[in-house]
Structure 1
């Protein structure tokens, strides 16, 4: 009964690799404690209004029998469902593919990435295991929100199981550039998995841009205003910079434990400036470079010796992995070197902690610190930077922040540095120490204002609201599609008509697009449909193709033909006629420019017709093609200014023709010649919009695919067109 109540208000099913709990088994008794985290906090309001269910690994391996059952039951009471993993699954899926393949690759440490087939197979198996458990614990009304790089196949698996699911995906780490991502052997599968979601979220626009670039280059799918069409479904990609619970950090001193801890720390570091550094042990965090910078700072500015302390907190992580263990040893040695080099009787430059701290303990460190130094080589967001700014208010701490951290986009008032530039970090430390309290507070005030405006609560609400809007957009796009009732109305009008005429575009309408224009020859089904339709109605195949190609493909069929967008007409059984006196001497001036773009754009081709010239770039790298297309159109616009020429920008083609030649003019001429009280026109690109606009209001105009249109109806693709035409043939 409780499940039914929650489903009606779209219960949110949160899915992550790890459940937000810490489970321990002591003295034959299970202890389950909540683990702190921004997402947990942000979901509090959603939990109350919509209900939430959290699915993930509980953090324990090898559970069996009664213990496993007890863990399951206790977690279910807390609205959580565990996904139990074997040690082998954990080693290969989590330690293996997630953290030895995806983690280094997505953070640009390609030299650490391991491409082991057994890791990939385990990743697929565990993602499938998650999918099965989600399907068992959700329903058609549930909102499924999948998190992070461990589960990138999951949205696609859920979409296969239920095409109408409401699925969001958020990546908490950077998405790398196409040149990095393409190194992944299973890149296609990862992209298709993510694209199973309706809404895909990233921290920053750079990550979003890299993702769309990879989708375009690897899968060949273009986007329009960050929207993609995947299997006739709109997928939205957007940015949602993760925030924090600002008040929790600003007002933390209301906690007596925090107050007492602050008093102890202030006494310990009295009279000295404190620089705080908090990082998980990881090669992406730039810890060695940070130590090198502090070493050089003390070397170059000896007057600060004894006056400043670096509190270096390194949180243990993956210490069993070889290069993590080596990193830990390097940090230990470097800290020892610096302390041995500069320490005095009553002062050590670095206070080094290699252990986990509770959040309230970290807040105490933040509040007594004057400066935070956050200098990762790559970081999806980095909440330490945000937590420090909130914690030090109203004093106003100074933040030194890597430009490679996602937080740098928002916190532009920080001292932004290149983490690879030791000299720049040294200068930043000096600048931070010398910054006046007034300036520091003013900068902190601006940053705090940003954090308050987009805190973790808004982040959660914004994502879920955006997911709702995407689903509404999907419904609207589907509602525009031609329905069975619409077809019945058309058939009724067709039966009543004395004479019927069908205007049919060719490329993208009767056949799909092909990489090479010569490959688009009609298949047997297309020929059969055109032949049979031509036997019962007037059919005009109206295309941008040249008249020789049109004759070769359709000359023997009982249909009328229009070539070069209306420059040539051919009634069935007759000869070709031109639209009138149309000049083509202008081609001698335009041709050299098109040839120039063919030469400088590998994969592009020139197609010359009697009254037009076209530049095709379907086989060109998409970014290069778009750039060249914009450049060519700009040059052509300048060349033809004041002339009677027109530029057509079609699907991967730019065509130049006489302005008096158009599909709109062509259909009007055909109607004068043939008449018809039932009129249907079908086309896929903007050259067909002129045809739609030129027809009378009672005509049945049909757009193929998505996008704005003057047409009254819409079908998904060429298959939908063929099915529609067969309805008239088989009436």
Structure 2
């Protein structure tokens, strides 16, 4: 059986305890390494004065990881720069925030070359490689340039933008061309896949046949593979002691009021500013509900070295203070705004305590918080998920209350609809969403992709010599 080598920007080694701190993606990829053997390769998260290419090997709980350290300049140009100040905003439709700096692009290419140089000697003849996410678009081509003829797949965890937006990237054509070094590319939704296909066919001139594209002698298969959560593990955690304690604490602190919860990394793509405005609109239009509800927004900071993230934190702190100043009373505060993270089992208890889960990103590849909120609910008295129609999860969770997050009126109306929803409708909607979350979980996602990559899904196998352009 072929070994599986997984490559990602960061590597998540197995934890000794199952405290709920690790996400479902890490657990699924670790399980794949155990099943197929192989290595999880990526950046260690550490920096060195001079890059040496030294690999740190570690083996724990049946998972072998191989990591390397990068220079400060690498992190600034590749990670803080091109990945998170160029590609991230652009791929989330925020071209107003995208920074197109030649130095960023150069650093991005240099680090991908370093990954390829370091990884290539570890790759054996029959290995299958699976590259994760936007940090490593060109890695497949770099490996081909170094003689790697193995089957290589790529999965994109964020949206793929429409052609008109992607065209604003100076390196757009070259970036998409490097994608044809892969044998299989996966997306969360058909929308993201169609956007990629449109650019490849209309701008590059790739030929389309079924689910495959051919360009300059290489054939690339496209697949929709929406990621899920580790549903069984999460439901168990939601019924565990830490979740029960969190549930009890939240209900005690609510003193009979309905809680609306949002849990998001502090990022402009999550629509937090728009969410606050929608909640403020609700408070303004429904004064009779003011002391009957409160909103808990958990937003742990991220990417603090990037200026746009510093600005969104300052903006939200001011906005939450403004709303509380306008509507709070001596015995009630409308928004509880918390800038820290919590273990997943504690979050599960918080989710279960909430009458409404408010998940309103402006654009999101998937959004697993939406699925976790549903999975955490009490089947006999479930809460209501309000979900942005621009999140990838909306394609699966059709029974959520779907909203346009840019519209404060829609968000306000959805909150009122959720508060008034009777038990029968809440249970019906929850059951439909939970069926999907149970069936299409993270293990299903991983198997769907690896079966397609390895040619064991019943589709026409990708030829082993699909490397004409690299030969």
Indicate the TM-score class for this superposition, using the shorter chain for normalisation. over 0.9
**Contact residue 379 and residue 404 of structure 1 kept, 8 A:** yes
Of 48, 64, 78, the residue aligned with 1:62 is: 48
Q: Given the superposition, is the C-alpha separation of residues 360 and 381 from structure 1 closer, same or farther in structure 2, using an over 3 Å criterion?
A: same
Q: Residue 100 of structure 1 corresponds to which residue in structure 2?
A: 85
Q: Given the superposition, is the C-alpha separation of residues 22 and 318 from structure 1 closer, same or farther in structure 2, using an over 3 Å criterion?
A: farther
Matched, 1:445 2:437: no
**Moved >6 Å (runs of 4+):** none
Of 254, 268, 292, the residue aligned with 2:277 is: 292
Matched, 1:468 2:460: no
Q: Residue 7 of structure 2 corresponds to which residue in structure 1?
A: 15
Matched, 1:320 2:305: yes
Q: Given the superposition, is the C-alpha separation of residues 321 and 468 from structure 1 closer, same or farther in structure 2, using an over 3 Å criterion?
A: closer
TM-score relative to the length of structure 2: 0.92
Q: In structure 1, how many angstroms separate the alpha carbons of the residues matched to 2:148 and 2:64?
A: 26
1:645-656 superposed matches below 5 A: none
How far off is 1:64 after superposition? Answer: 8.4
Q: In structure 2, how many angstroms separate the alpha carbons of the residues matched to 1:270 and 1:142?
A: 57
Alignment partner of 2:96: what SS? helix
**Contact residue 33 and residue 40 of structure 2 kept, 8 A:** no
Q: In structure 2, how many angstroms separate the alpha carbons of the residues matched to 1:398 and 1:54?
A: 38
Q: Given the superposition, is the C-alpha separation of residues 474 and 19 from structure 1 closer, same or farther in structure 2, using an over 3 Å criterion?
A: closer
Q: Given the superposition, is the C-alpha separation of residues 348 and 280 from structure 1 closer, same or farther in structure 2, using an over 3 Å criterion?
A: same
Of 239, 248, 252, the residue aligned with 2:224 is: 239
Of 155, 172, 195, the residue aligned with 1:210 is: 195
Q: In structure 2, how many angstroms separate the alpha carbons of the residues matched to 1:152 and 1:35?
A: 28
Relative contact order, higher structure (CA 8 A, sep 6+):
2
1:215-230 superposed matches below 5 A: 215-230=200-215
- 245-254 or 430-439: bigger deviation: 245-254
Of 371, 374, 384, the residue aligned with 1:398 is: 384
Of 179, 191, 199, the residue aligned with 2:164 is: 179
Larger Rg: 1
Q: In structure 2, how many angstroms separate the alpha carbons of the residues matched to 1:391 and 1:295?
A: 27
How far off is 1:255 after superposition? Answer: 2.6
How far off is 1:63 after superposition? Answer: 7.3
**Contact residue 385 and residue 401 of structure 1 kept, 8 A:** yes
Q: Residue 36 of structure 2 corresponds to which residue in structure 1?
A: 50
Q: Residue 426 of structure 1 corresponds to which residue in structure 2?
A: 412
Q: Residue 417 of structure 1 corresponds to which residue in structure 2?
A: 403
Q: Deviations over 1:269-299 (max 9, x none)?
A: 1311111101111111111111111111111
Alignment partner of 1:251: what SS? helix
How far off is 1:447 after superposition? Answer: 0.4
Of 325, 330, 333, the residue aligned with 1:348 is: 333
How far off is 1:51 after superposition? Answer: 1.4
Q: Residue 244 of structure 2 corresponds to which residue in structure 1?
A: 259
Q: In structure 1, how many angstroms separate the alpha carbons of the residues matched to 2:4 and 2:448?
A: 14
Q: In structure 2, how many angstroms separate the alpha carbons of the residues matched to 1:427 and 1:448?
A: 24
Q: In structure 1, how many angstroms separate the alpha carbons of the residues matched to 2:244 and 2:49?
A: 40
Q: Deviations over 1:56-77 (max 9, x none)?
A: 1111223789xx98x9244689
Q: In structure 2, how many angstroms separate the alpha carbons of the residues matched to 1:35 and 1:311?
A: 21
Matched, 1:276 2:261: yes
Q: Given the superposition, is the C-alpha separation of residues 473 and 230 from structure 1 closer, same or farther in structure 2, using an over 3 Å criterion?
A: farther
Q: In structure 1, how many angstroms separate the alpha carbons of the residues matched to 2:250 and 2:363?
A: 31
How far off is 1:21 after superposition? Answer: 4.5
Matched, 1:455 2:441: yes
**Contact residue 12 and residue 144 of structure 1 kept, 8 A:** yes
Q: Residue 83 of structure 1 corresponds to which residue in structure 2?
A: 68
What RMSD over aligned residues (CA atoms) do the two structures have, in Å?
2.4
TM-score relative to the length of structure 1: 0.60
Q: In structure 1, how many angstroms separate the alpha carbons of the residues matched to 2:454 and 2:216?
A: 19
Of 22, 27, 46, the residue aligned with 1:41 is: 27
Q: In structure 2, how many angstroms separate the alpha carbons of the residues matched to 1:150 and 1:347?
A: 44
**Contact residue 366 and residue 388 of structure 1 kept, 8 A:** yes
- 101-110 or 250-259: bigger deviation: 250-259
Q: Given the superposition, is the C-alpha separation of residues 80 and 35 from structure 1 closer, same or farther in structure 2, using an over 3 Å criterion?
A: farther
Q: Residue 330 of structure 1 corresponds to which residue in structure 2?
A: 315
Q: Deviations over 1:358-397 (max 9, x none)?
A: 2122112111111111111111000000000001141322
* 5+ long unaligned stretches in structure 2: none
Alignment partner of 1:306: what SS? helix
Q: In structure 2, how many angstroms separate the alpha carbons of the residues matched to 1:45 and 1:56?
A: 17
**Contact residue 34 and residue 63 of structure 2 kept, 8 A:** no
Residue-pair matches, total: 459
How far off is 1:476 after superposition? Answer: 9.2
Matched, 1:72 2:56: yes
Q: In structure 2, how many angstroms separate the alpha carbons of the residues matched to 1:269 and 1:12?
A: 48
**Contact residue 5 and residue 33 of structure 2 kept, 8 A:** no
**Contact residue 75 and residue 82 of structure 1 kept, 8 A:** no
How far off is 1:154 after superposition? Answer: 0.5
Q: In structure 1, how many angstroms separate the alpha carbons of the residues matched to 2:159 and 2:463?
A: 31
